[in-house]
Copies of this chain bind each other. A is one copy, B any other.
Amino acid sequence: MAKDGERRDPLNRARVLRAAVALADESGLEAISMRKLAQALGVVPMALYKHVANKDELLDGMVDAVVSEVEPPQEGLDWKAAVRRRTLSARAVMLRHPWARRIMEAQAAPTHVILAYTDSMIRTFLAGGLSADLVHHVMHALGSRIFGFTQELHETAPTAPSDLSPEQVQYMMATFPGIVAVATARPHDPTSVVGSGCDDQFEFEFGIDLMLDGVERLHRNDWRSADHDREAASVL
């Protein structure tokens, strides 16, 4: 417990945020309430408001702590490799703190830390010679993927096919033939699969590469905004 030791240390913002991150890692985002966090710190709820204006600011601080774990930009890489590497680092961080995604999606305004990360990513593209115009669109297209987020709506497939009864499989095949065809198309490497039947790392890399390869092609073709329609057509 070490209740006394905890209580003896004076509370400060860093300690509050560290405790909140640890609590969320351990018990999930729904365990984060001002009251429960205070209890974990051996403190009265109102004591938190000295170091954090309100719950929103607490959540922002937790996300900032997580984003700060992403590795800094590496020297000596071309823009594509640099973006790819940093994005994969961000993904590794988000896998450690899966609750961070929901906060970021729900929060209205970006924090300074989020802006700094975004700015750094933009400067990597610009340093690679991409036009500011192209980078603008690329940042919109990449969106939250630069933070290592997959775009999936639901973490896992409804259920692994092997967990279904024969009747359920029958029903699925009759009702959602497309989903069944695609889900059973590819027996993945079982060592790298957790349980959903998908190699999430492979899927993430497939997606980011699809985007970055497309961007590289546009850049090579000296893309400018007015060329958008023409480019799209000429690719055919």
Contact = CB atoms under 8 A, between A and B. Distances in A.
A215 B206 contact: no
A198 interface: yes
Contact of A181 (B126, B152, B214): B126
Interface string A101-145: 010111111100011101111110010000111011101111111
Nearest to A176: B119
A147 B151 CA distance: 11
The count of identical subunits is 2
A119 B176 CA distance: 6
B141 A203 contact: yes
B203 A210 contact: no
Interface size class of A (residues with CB under 8 A): 35 or more
B232 A213 contact: yes
Contact of A206 (B123, B198, B216, B228): B228
Nearest to A124: B178
Interface stretch (A10-18, A47-55, A162-170, A182-190): A182-190
A216 B110 CA distance: 35
Contact of A209 (B123, B181, B232): B232
A31 to B, nearest CB: 16
A223 to B, nearest CB: 11
Main SS at interface, chain A: helix
A147 B154 contact: no
Nearest to A205: B228
Most chain B CB inside 10 Å of its own CB: which residue of A119, A158, A177, A203: A119
A89 interface: no
19 contacts: A104-B153, A105-B153, A108-B155, A109-B154, A109-B158, A118-B176, A119-B176, A119-B177, A122-B179, A123-B177, A123-B178, A135-B182, A140-B152, A141-B151, A144-B151, A210-B215, A213-B232, A216-B235, A217-B235
Given A123-B177, A132-B185, 10 more contacts: A104-B153, A114-B153, A115-B158, A126-B178, A126-B182, A132-B186, A136-B183, A136-B186, A141-B207, A144-B152
